[in-house]
Each structure stands twice: as C-alpha cells, then as structure tokens.
C-alpha cells in the first residue's frame, strides 16, 4: 500500500517508524515531515491545511491510506475531503473533530451522554463570566473555547488570576478562540491519558500514558506541549480503564453516532482520576505528542493494521497484541522553550545513538543544513526507549540523551518520577 502521513513532528516520526515496519507498507510519504523522518520516508511539501490540495496530492501519488497526525487539518475537513474522494483515511470528520476543537461542544456531549466531567458554565459575555468567577471562588479553571494550541487553559489558584485570564481571553489574546469561554470546576486527582481507537461504533483501547506538561523538574514552571511521557500509566488500572470505557467512551461514541457524526480515529481521553473514579478533562482527536512516541514504541507495526480496521469499521474483530513492557520518551528542547528560542544550533552525536525496536531518537523539530542536523523548533528531539520495567526504559532513554552533543538543548532529568 501507498501510505501518506500528515504532520511533521515527533508524533509523526513515531507513526512513520511504526507504519514502515508493517509489511503492508510499500511506500510511505510524510508531509511535511522533518529531517529525522526524511531518513526513513519520502517527505513532501504540501499545505496540509488545504483539504483540496491534500486530496489532489493523494490522487496524484496513488495513495491508498492517509493518517492525519495533528488536529488542525482534521478540524479543517481534510478527512472529509479525502473520504469524499474515495481515499481511506484514519481520522475524524470536521464535525466529529469538534470534540477537540470546541470545549463547550465536548461539555454538551458529556451532558447528553451522562459522562462524568467537571461542572461548567459557558460564556460569551465578559461581565457575566466575571460574576460567575466571583460567585464560585478559586481554584477554578478558565478555558478559551476553540483550538488554542494547548495554551488556552488557565488553572487559576486565586480569583484575581481567574479574572486576569478572562481579561486576556475576552481581550483577544487567543483571537477567535477567546470570544467564547468555558469556566470549569477545578478537579483534584491524578491526571492520565487513555488512547482508544474508534470506528464510529466500536472502540479498542491501545494504551495509557502520563506526560509532564511543565518545563521544570518536579513539575514546576510554565506549561509546555509536553516534556516527556511514559506508558503505561500506573494510575490507569484495568478497573479504571473499564470504567472509562463504560461511563465515558462508549456513551460518547453513541451520542456522536446518534447525531449523525460518528467518531472514527484515535480518541485521546484526558482523565482526572481520584479514588478509582475517572472524570473527563478533555478529548483530543489525535495522538498525544509526546505520548504517541512511547505508545508506538510499545505497539510497533501492528498499529497500522488497527488504524486500517478503525477506518474500515472492523474494530470489533481486532485485539491488541500486548507485550508486558514499559516505554518512556524524554523531550530535548531548545534553550528558552517554551518562551523564545533560537533555531539553527548544530546537534551532534545522533549517529552514535543505537536505533532498534527498543530505542529510537524521534525527531520533533530538526532540519538538515550542510550535512548536519540542526534545531528547527522548540521541542526538537524525543528520545524514546522501552524495557521490561519503567526503570529499564528510563535508563536506556537517558543513556541516549547522554550521547547527544547539543549544548543549546536541555531536557528534564526526572521524567517518570511519580511512577518510579
């Protein structure tokens, strides 16, 4: 088969790595890809936000199957356009992608499905939102309604912080995304992510993970896209996973189907777990980044068969072949991230890193200049390893980190600390 993956980060490198190993894969193109992906697949320039351009590209290149990495092309209707052109695609329609694109939509679905989640109220009026915060007090959570690249959420510890967040959002800090605001009850507990493949009707769990969102060790400092992750997540026990399927995932799929917008693709179920009870924090309509890198290391080539089954409505016949293992990914970022950082610094030592089914350096933001790898983003490398225990995966991952010669980069040295 000829397969096209859309995206160009560490998530897509990991997806490409897993898909390449599947014997069904004859040819793999990744658009736009990055310098790491270019080592294993063809990279193509393509405006992945333009549904027509993607469909034309897929037809011209005789693509049989498309995997959409990030959420933005899904929200823009790329999967709809491909399906209309008769091309098989893994990823939800724009209508179903609203589970990530609109926080108030997700809340409405949870209400209709009876899925446990934080209490909330939805505002388009600044004054009414301020009054609500004053009435409820802190801690309280303020969210811009639309896609804000993970930056539209403020967990306010004081009323003043909450009011300030409202000023920013109604003041246009997030553009259109801030014209509507959801205010949520603060949920206590331990956070974990649950990844479920969905074919519109059936669902198949494919793994659990926890990530570290803060830039600093001990989970301190500003929020980032994620500085590391590990799988499985100990807090997501079999019993919690079953509860999540019964109380959250299946009722959501049923409600989406009832509305005529069935959900197909991977559902990233962000949970807050307390005393064995999961509550939904958020849905994402894509794999988490960097959680995907740890998941792919554990699942390997079979993930392509499962994605194909999801796209073709055959998940009820599928099961996952589990190894009883653990994986960890450590993000190396450019100094300054998540604030301002420089591009172009040279990364050495990559040739010395072992790459096999136990350890891989996935590239998140690299480019190739004059024969050398250079940093080309904030999060740059995702050092990923697996082992029989989390400790073994960790030791393997940090041994690779230590081989990398990149003075302008940094990483957290404590990924997985809660579980270890």
Residues that bind ligand AMP (CB under 6 A): 118, 141, 143, 150, 153, 155, 184-187, 191, 270, 281-282
Q: Residue 211, interface with ligand GLY (CB under 6 A)?
A: yes
Q: H or E segment at 307?
A: helix 302-311
To the nearest whole angstrom, how small is the minimum distance from the Cβ of residue 151 to ligand AMP? 9
Beta-sheet pairing, 379-387 with 326-334 = antiparallel
Residue 70's binding partner out of ligand GLY, ligand AMP, none, with CB under 5 to 8 Å set by partner kind = none
Nearer to ligand AMP by Cβ, of 30 and 187: the residue is 187
Structural tokens at position 101: 């694109």
Residue 91's binding partner out of ligand AMP, ligand GLY, none, with CB under 5 to 8 Å set by partner kind = none
Residue 281's binding partner out of ligand GLY, ligand AMP, none, with CB under 5 to 8 Å set by partner kind = ligand AMP
The DSSP result for 56-107, as a single string, is: HHHHHTT--EEEE-SHHHHHTTHHHHHHHTT-EEES--TTTTHHHH-HHHHH
Q: Residue 284, interface with ligand GLY (CB under 6 A)?
A: yes
To the nearest whole angstrom, how small is the minimum distance from the Cβ of residue 219 to ligand AMP? 10
Q: Residue 80, interface with ligand GLY (CB under 6 A)?
A: no
Residue 78's binding partner out of ligand AMP, ligand GLY, none, with CB under 5 to 8 Å set by partner kind = none
Q: Which single residue brings its beta carbon nearest to ligand GLY?
A: 226
Nearer to ligand AMP by Cβ, of 185 and 335: the residue is 185
- Contact pattern from residue 132 through residue 151 relative to ligand GLY, giving x for each residue in contact according to CB under 6 A and a dash for the rest: ------------------x-
For residue 344, what are the CA distances in angstroms to 35, 93, 217, 378, 406? 13, 37, 26, 11, 11
To the nearest whole angstrom, how small is the minimum distance from the Cβ of residue 112 to ligand GLY? 24
For residues 260-278, one letter each, b for 16 or more C-beta atoms within 10 angstroms of the residue's C-beta and e for the rest, the string is ebbbbbbbbbebbbeeeeb
To the nearest whole angstrom, how small is the minimum distance from the Cβ of residue 258 to ligand GLY? 27
Residue 155's binding partner out of ligand AMP, ligand GLY, none, with CB under 5 to 8 Å set by partner kind = ligand AMP
Nearer to ligand GLY by Cβ, of 36 and 226: the residue is 226
Residue 168's binding partner out of ligand GLY, ligand AMP, none, with CB under 5 to 8 Å set by partner kind = none
Residue 289's binding partner out of ligand GLY, ligand AMP, none, with CB under 5 to 8 Å set by partner kind = ligand GLY
**275: CB partners within 8 A, 6+ apart:** none
Which one of 36, 226, 228, 262 is in contact with ligand GLY (CB under 6 A)? 226
First-to-last CA distance in the chain? 41
Which one of 80, 145, 184, 289 is in contact with ligand GLY (CB under 6 A)? 289
Distance CA 267, CA 223 (A): 22
Residue 199's binding partner out of ligand GLY, ligand AMP, none, with CB under 5 to 8 Å set by partner kind = none
Nearer to ligand AMP by Cβ, of 33 and 152: the residue is 152
Distance CA 173, CA 155 (A): 16
φ, ψ for residue 95, nearest 5 deg: -65, -40
Using a 10 angstrom Cβ sphere, with 0-12 exposed, 13-18 middle and 19 or more buried, the burial of residue 304 is: buried
Residue 211's binding partner out of ligand AMP, ligand GLY, none, with CB under 5 to 8 Å set by partner kind = ligand GLY
Which one of 291, 378, 381, 394 is in contact with ligand GLY (CB under 6 A)? 291
Distance CA 400, CA 65 (A): 33
Q: Residue 288, interface with ligand GLY (CB under 6 A)?
A: yes
Binding-site size for ligand GLY (CB under 6 A) equals 8
- In what side-by-side order are the strands of the sheet with 2-7? 42-43, 27-32, 2-7, 65-68, 88-90
Preceding omega of 232 cis (within 30 degrees of 0): yes
Nearer to ligand GLY by Cβ, of 10 and 205: the residue is 10
Beta-sheet pairing, 42-43 with 27-32 = parallel
Task: Give the up-direction half-sphere exposure of residue 299: CA atoms within 13 A in the CB hemisphere.
Answer: 31
Beta-sheet pairing, 379-387 with 2-7 = unpaired
Nearer to ligand AMP by Cβ, of 183 and 401: the residue is 183
Strand positions, DSSP E, 91-161: 120-123, 140-144, 153-156
To the nearest whole angstrom, how small is the minimum distance from the Cβ of residue 154 to ligand AMP? 8
Nearer to ligand AMP by Cβ, of 185 and 355: the residue is 185
**53: CB partners within 8 A, 6+ apart:** 46, 47
Query: Contact positions toward ligand GLY, by CB under 6 A?
Result: 150, 211, 225-226, 284, 288-289, 291
């Amino acid at each position: 088969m000829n397969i096209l993956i859309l995206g160009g980060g560490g998530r897509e490198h990991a997806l490409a790595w897993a898909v390449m190993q599947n014997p069904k894969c004859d040819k793999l193109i990744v658009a736009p890809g990055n310098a790491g992906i270019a080592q294993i697949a063809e990279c193509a320039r393509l405006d992945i936000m333009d549904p027509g351009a993607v469909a034309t590209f897929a037809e011209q290149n005789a693509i049989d199957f498309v995997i959409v990495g990030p959420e933005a092309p899904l929200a823009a209707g790329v999967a709809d356009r491909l399906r209309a052109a008769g091309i098989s695609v893994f990823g939800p329609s724009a209508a179903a992608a609203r589970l990530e694109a609109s926080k108030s939509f997700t809340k409405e679905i949870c209400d209709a499905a009876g899925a446990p989640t934080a209490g909330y109220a939805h505002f388009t009026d600044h004054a009414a939102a301020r009054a609500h915060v004053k009435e409820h007090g802190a801690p309280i959570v303020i969210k811009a309604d639309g896609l804000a690249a993970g930056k539209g959420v403020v967990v306010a510890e004081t009323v003043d912080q909450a009011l300030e967040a409202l000023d920013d959002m109604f003041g246009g800090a997030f553009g259109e995304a801030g014209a509507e605001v959801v205010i949520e009850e603060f949920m206590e507990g331990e956070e974990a992510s649950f990844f479920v493949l969905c074919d519109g009707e059936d669902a198949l769990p494919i793994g659990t993970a926890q990530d570290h969102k803060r830039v600093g060790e001990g989970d301190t400092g500003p929020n980032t896209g994620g500085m590391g992750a590990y799988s499985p997540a100990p807090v997501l026990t079999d019993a919690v996973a079953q509860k999540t399927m019964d109380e959250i995932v299946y009722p959501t799929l049923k409600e989406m189907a009832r509305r005529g917008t069935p959900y197909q693709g991977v559902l990233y179920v962000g949970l807050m777990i307390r005393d064995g009870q999961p509550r939904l924090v958020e849905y994402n309509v894509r794999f988490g980044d960097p959680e995907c890198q740890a998941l792919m290391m554990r699942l390997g080539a079979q993930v392509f068969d499962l994605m194909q089954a999801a796209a073709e409505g055959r998940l009820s016949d599928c099961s996952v072949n589990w190894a009883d293992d653990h994986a960890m990914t450590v993000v190396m970022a450019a100094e300054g991230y998540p604030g301002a950082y420089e591009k172009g610094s040279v990364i050495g030592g990559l040739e010395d890193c072992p790459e096999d089914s136990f350890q891989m350096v996935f590239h998140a933001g690299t480019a190739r200049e004059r024969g050398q790898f250079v940093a080309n983003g904030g999060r740059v490398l995702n050092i990923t390893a697996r082992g029989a225990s989390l400790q073994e995966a960790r030791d393997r991952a940090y041994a690779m980190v230590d081989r990398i010669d990149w003075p302008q980069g940094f990483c957290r040295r404590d990924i997985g600390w809660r579980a270890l």
